[in-house]
Amino acid sequence: MATLASSANPFDIQARPNRLLAQALSCLFFVVCIGLYMHTSASRHRENPEDRVVPNATQLAAGIHASVLEPAEEDDYIPADNASKWERFRHSMIVKDTISSGRRFFIALALLIPAVVLALHIGLFPWFGAGFLRFVLFFDKIVALSLLPILFIVFGIDEWSKIALIVIGVAPTMILDVTNMVKAVPQEQIVKAFTLDANNFDVAYRVVFRQVLPQVINSLRLNLKPMMLFLFAGEMIAASDGLAYRIAIMRRHMGMDVILPYVLWVAFLLFLIDLSLRVLNRRLHPWFQA
Amino acid sequence: MVSGMSTPMAKTPLQALNSAAATAVVAAGPAADPHGAIEIRNVGVSYQLAKSTGVKKNARRTVLEDISLTIEPGEFVVLLGETGCGKSTLLRMILGQERPTSGEIRIGGSPVTRVDARSGYVPQKYSLFPDRTVLGNLTMGPETSKYHILGRLLPGFRAFRREVREEAYRQLNHMGLQRSDAHKYPHQLSGGMQQRVAIAQALMMKNRVLLMDEAFSALDPATRASLQRLLRSVWCEARPTVVFVTHNTAEALFLGTRVIVLARTGREDHCGSRVALDMQLPTSGMSLRGNGQEFLDLVDHIEHFSRGDRATAADPELEAALEPDSPAVSTDGDPL
């Protein structure tokens, strides 16, 4: 009895919970949240059957149907009555928003590549370090969102201001992070490469860059969230499409039935990108440990 | 303790030994080519001390002081000394990684200003590229020296790579590794295997100078002994100039044809290390088994020099600290 009590003690660091119980426990808070939601929804619907703040299952299903199979309100496209599900899905609100947000996201991601290359040079070539490091350090401290008005004035309120916001927001941190990784590569490796008759670019790209690439990808994985954050900030303030634009619009008429699926969809997308980067990293760099 | 009275005893056999060794080196001389010669002229190193309380402005600490050495092609030079005596600094300067504050170093007649492919390098740690397989590590040298980063797109590259791979397999076999090890990554190999590959990697470049910085210090005694034998056989075949830094006297005696001991001349900051002892050894190498008491006396003799002034200054505390050192070296010395 005493052993059971001690092994069930939640504050026992040396406890060995049984596997099944641990699995069940990991689901606990999901269940609690869903239960609370359903309870709130049911009680609010008893008072007001039209309640929109905590939509019930039927309302949510309708919201999901509207976002996945209906075109957006502002679109001119009207699906033919006999249009197939795929046809409807292709022109749906969520697909349109995902594509326009995704485009911004991936263009920004592509623009981070030169930033990483610059960081490699800053960390490795003393002249680059002398020229850029202090500037980047300064730039890193500027709150990117405070630049948003300037970006709107410079780039206009269309695509490029939002992409610029993401890049400006994430690039300095990435650069400093990668610079540190490059500096952490043991000097022995660089010296060894030079004794093997490598030239400067061999050392930079075929020795150092190859070694830090898995860490760079991991750093990028951590930066996915800030990137998404800047994208959403830009889209909520000035956009005519995009995932965050839709969420902001729906707020105006309390469209929780659409907002909730959108929030979960964004989380799922982010999870997918993160997972694919992780798998890519493991495939490309079998030698990399933790 | 033998250490106290070793010096007078060791003198006589040593002198005989010295002359024998000198003739042996001269005999081996003409076979080696002049690219392997290392000249160290009046090299000194000092650096500014960081500003902190109790340090005078512009205070400098001298590491090496007026070192002049001529290393003939094909010599196996072992740099010995206590921790912090600057032996690794001297090696890094021969390598080109650091620059002397004064003086000059030349390899094969031309001065060393930067790290280049004149010398091969085997450090104690991080000696292999972790992102390349054993084969990739071995072929990297010849590949990059012939085809730099964009040159890899040239048509001749693939054929050349096939050739280099064959060579790499031969070299691997020579180092006592299996063909199946070729596709392993460094982290899958033991420390001893990694150092074998690192030596092979340096040998692939066929440079005339090989610089090794405590290359075997992190290995267990058995592995260390087998690597020492390997290194000796490699040296006997190709006769490169080797500069080997170690703090293990027995290792030095087993490997080297010449032992150079660096020791600080005093404890003050302005006193740097100088060459305390420069001694020729027989080319066949020495071991406890082969040379018996002579070997032990020589170990004591050398250690007396590497302790420098400090041992002669009658400091009971220091003497006590040094006491357990001497037997440790002779048992720790693996080439038995």
pLDDT band at B238 (very low <50, low <70, confident <90, very high): confident
CB contact under 8 A, B149 and A206: yes
Give the pLDDT score at A72: 79
Q: What is the mean pLDDT of each run of 10 residues along chain A (290 residues)?
A: 61 89 94 96 91 89 89 76 82 91 95 96 95 93 89 86 92 95 94 92 93 95 94 89 90 88 94 95 86
Q: What is the pLDDT of residues B174-198, one digit of tens each?
A: 888 888 888 999 999 988 899 999 9
First to last CA, chain A: 41
Q: Of B185, B206, B227, at which residue does a domain stop?
A: B206
Chain B residue whose CA is closest to A211:
B131
| Chain B residue numbers touching A197 (CB-CB < 8 A) | 116-117, 141, 144-145, 205
Comparing CA positions, the residue from A107, A72, A109, A108 lying closest to residue A91 is A72
Q: Are residues B262 and B184 in the same domain?
A: no
From A252-256, B32-36, B228-232, B263-267, the region with the lowest mean pLDDT = B32-36
* Fold of the A93-284 domain: MetI-like fold (1.10.3720)
Return the residue matching tokens 């939601």. Answer: A37
Is the model's pLDDT at B14 over the cut of 60? no
The whole-angstrom separation of Cα A83 and Cα A87 is 6
**Residues in B touching A202 (Cβ below 8 Å):** 144, 148-149
Q: For residue B27, is pLDDT > 70?
A: no
B192 and B275, same domain (yes or no): no
Q: Which residue range forms the structural domain that includes residue B181?
A: 127-206
- Do residues B138 and B240 share a domain? no
Instruction: Please count the other Cβ atoms lying within 10 Å of the Cβ belonging to residue B310.
Output: 16
Q: Which residue of A has its CA nearest to B140?
A: A196
pLDDT of B332 over the 60 cut: no
ipTM of the complex, rounded to two decimals? 0.79
pLDDT at residue B16 in the model: 44
* Per-residue pLDDT tens digits for B128-161: 999 999 999 999 989 888 888 888 888 888 889 8
Is B95 within 8 Å of A205 when comparing Cβ atoms?
no
Partner-chain residue, chosen from B115, B132, B149, that has the shortest CB–CB distance to A195 = B115
Torsion angles phi and psi, residue B71, rounded to 5: -110, 120
**Domain boundaries, given as residue ranges, for chain A:** 93-284
Nearest CA in chain A to B120: A195
Residue A16 phi/psi, 5-degree rounding, is -125, 85
Q: Which amino acid is at A256?
A: M
Kindly determine whether residue B205 and residue A202, on different chains, have CB atoms separated by under 8 Å: no
Number of domains chain B contains = 2
Contact between B48 and B57 under an 8 Å Cβ cutoff? The reply is: no
Residues B146 and B174 occupy one common structural domain:
yes
- In this prediction, residue B57 carries a pLDDT of 67
CATH number of domain containing B90: 3.40.50.300
Its pTM stands at 0.82
Q: Which two tokens stand for residue B152?
A: 């890899």
> Does the beta-carbon distance from A197 to B145 stay under 8 Å?
yes
CB-CB neighbors (< 8 A) of B120 in chain A: 195
Q: Does A125 touch chain B (CB under 8 A)?
A: no
Same-domain status, B23 and B53: yes
CB contacts of A210 in chain B (<8 Å) are 129, 131
Q: How far apart (Å, rounded) are the C-alpha atoms in residues B148 and A89?
A: 51
B145: tokens are 């020296």
Exposure string of A7-36, with b = 16+ CB inside 10 Å and e = fewer, is eeeeeeeeeeeeeeeeeeeeeeeeeeeeee
Mean pLDDT, rounded, for B212-219: 89
The pair of three-digit structure tokens given for residue B245, joined into one six-digit string: 């830094």
Predicted confidence (pLDDT) at residue B51 exceeds the cutoff of 80? no
CA dihedral (B73, A191, B44, B254) positive or negative: negative
Q: Are residues B291 and B270 in the same domain?
A: yes
The C-alpha atoms of residue B131 and residue A212 are separated, in whole angstroms, by 10
Q: Determine which helix (DSSP H) or strand (DSSP E) holds B211, and give its type and residue range.
A: strand B209-213
**What confidence score (pLDDT) does residue B313 get?**
42
**Distance of alpha carbon B147 from alpha carbon A190, whole angstroms:** 18
